[in-house]
Amino acid sequence: MSFLYPNVLWLLLLPILLAAAALLLRRNRTQAWRKLVSAVHADTLVVRRPLWNSVLPSVLALLAMGGIILALARPINGYRETDATDTGRNLLIALDISRSMETQDVKPSRLEEARAAAYELINALPTDKIGLIVFSGEADLVVPLTYDHTALRDALEQVNRGWAGSGGTNFGRVLRKAMQDFKRSAPEGTNALIILSDGEDTVDSSLDIAKEAKKSGLLVITVGIGTEAGGAIPDENGENGLWQDADGKHVISKLNPKSLQDFAKATGGSFFAMTANANLAEFARSAVQKLDKHEETHSITKTPNDLFRYFAGISLILLISAILTRTAWRAPRLTTALLLLSALSSQESHAAPDLENIGHYQLGLMQLEKEPDKARESFSRALLDEDPALQAAALYELGNINTRQTLEELRALYEAPSDDTAGTTQPGPDELQKIVDTLKQDISSYRDALTTQPNLKPAKINLSRTEEFVKKLEEEIERLKQQQNQQNQQDQQDQQDQQDQQDQQDQQNQQNQQNQQDKQDKQDKQDKQDKQDKQDKQDQQDQQDQQDQQDQQDQQDQQDQQDQQDQQDQQDKQDKQDQQDKQDKQDKQDQQEQQASEEAQQELSDEEKARQRAASILKMHMDEEQGSPIPHANDNVRPPAKDY
């Protein structure tokens, strides 16, 4: 026989110390009454209880305590191996560990938020085969596809920034690594890759690879970590503790949802934004429904042969025996016994919780009031434990945190000051519906806790109260909707009445305007008629004046024509007279020249006379024939040297 938790055996010192304290107390009590009663009257005045009634219950209680301690140490009788056949889907979780994941726009950092999201995915898909990839500029397969989710959680808890092989973020390398692993371990059917990242793909060459992944049956689901407002990237060695680029400027990293959406869309997958009230588990269960299931037989090694029940049963019998002895310390120890029995009954055959996970749970309880976000992270870490009781307690506290925050949001809606009054505002049905939807998501933690531990009464109570409160909110929403509908109907009626009144007023105005327009048209028509008559009269007068002017013009033209004819006749007469005078003058001149020539001829020789006669004939031809080619001058024509 051996023990899984041998350190618990140190608690066996407790019943030994209690036994020593009981003996010392009995001795002091005996000495005390002996001082008060003399030895002569001791037998008469002092009633001594039987030894079995005074000592036996204490011995039985101490033995029961020892048996409980041995049971808590988990005694086992070796191990056994069992084969199991699991049917599930194949998924790889890819965790971004690039430098930008250290940004603290979500607390405590994007990397821790992604780690918590990975835990939530593992818890949401307990029957699926899951592996783990970490990536930055390179991608590494840390945990191959496995049903051993405990080993997967252990590896996930150890992931840190130091594992990054190179800087930057390369989604293409992640796809290549996932396709290689699926081709080796699950070549048939469809598989899924869930990427937890802020979406900053520094290589920007992944969409082409995504199309190739879709052809190979790989479905990519992206989960956005961070905020679109972003934040500065921490760096211990940088100025002011912040990362700087080559120009010495602080780098602001922001969530890039579009990159993740396009990446998922290229493979037919979907995108999920990790917000405060996001239900990633429900989203993951819905997103993987389209994947093919695979059946695989594997062996589960080293399952301990528990002896827990035997020690627990013996301790239970001893406790009942101690209670039945009716000792004086029976009442307080009854409460202790009931608590121990409750603890024993809740253990069954499950492993005791890990001390580290218990520490996370206790830390979450301390952080619950002042730091609910850190408390949520601590309870999420406690969920990693295999103990159902601790898982149920952590789920219960997570449900309390989420429900409390949602109720605070509801209280803030009612306490917000109104714009038009001095009091508080009334939330609308849409705002209350968002609160109801969020509460329905919050109480899923209570349901999960009850699934693990059906007898967890606080979870039942909170679930019942929250569901009752949700019903009241839904009734309030229905009432507000009816009130809003009535108000809308009243507003529509008032608006309709106002519209009818306005239409009636418009109709009256239109009638008055029409009457005024008719009157104006009639007046305009009369004015136009008067103007037309006046214009016709003016046109007639203008036509008469034009006719008179035309007649006068015709008369003037006739007079001018007559004057012109008279002037032409006078001119012709004058030209004829001038021509006659010229002819007479020419004839006279010719006669004189002829006479002079005759007189000269009488004096010249015969030869000279002949030349003069030829010159005279030539001159005569020149005067009669205009345009003659013979060059001549009127006055300087020399007689020809030869007689023609």
Q: Across the chain, how many H-helices and E-strands are there?
A: 19, 11
Report the pLDDT averaged over residues 150-165.
Answer: 85
pLDDT of residue 364: 82
Report the pLDDT averaged over residues 484-505.
Answer: 85
DSSP 8-class letter at 462:
H
Report the pLDDT averaged over residues 288-307.
Answer: 69
Q: Which token pair is 425?
A: 């505002």
Higher pLDDT, 338 or 206: 206
* Burial of 191 per CB tally in 10 Å (0-12, 13-18, 19+): buried
Distance CA 447, CA 454 (A): 9
pTM: 0.40
C-beta separation of 103 from 253 below 8 A? yes
Report the pLDDT averaged over residues 179-190.
Answer: 81
pLDDT of residue 233: 85
Distance CA 476, CA 454 (A): 31
Q: Which tens digit of pLDDT belongs to each residue from 21-48?
A: 878 877 766 555 455 444 554 555 444 5
Number of Cβ within a 10 Å radius of residue 95: 24
Please give the mean pLDDT across all residues of the chain: 78
- How big is the CA angle at 92 (ends 130 and 148), to the nearest 5 degrees? 20
Full set of structural domains in the chain with CATH: 1-77+305-352 (no CATH), 90-234+249-292 (3.40.50.410), 354-501 (1.25.40.10), 607-644 (no CATH)
Asked whether residue 330 carries a pLDDT value surpassing 50, the answer given is no
pLDDT of residue 53: 62
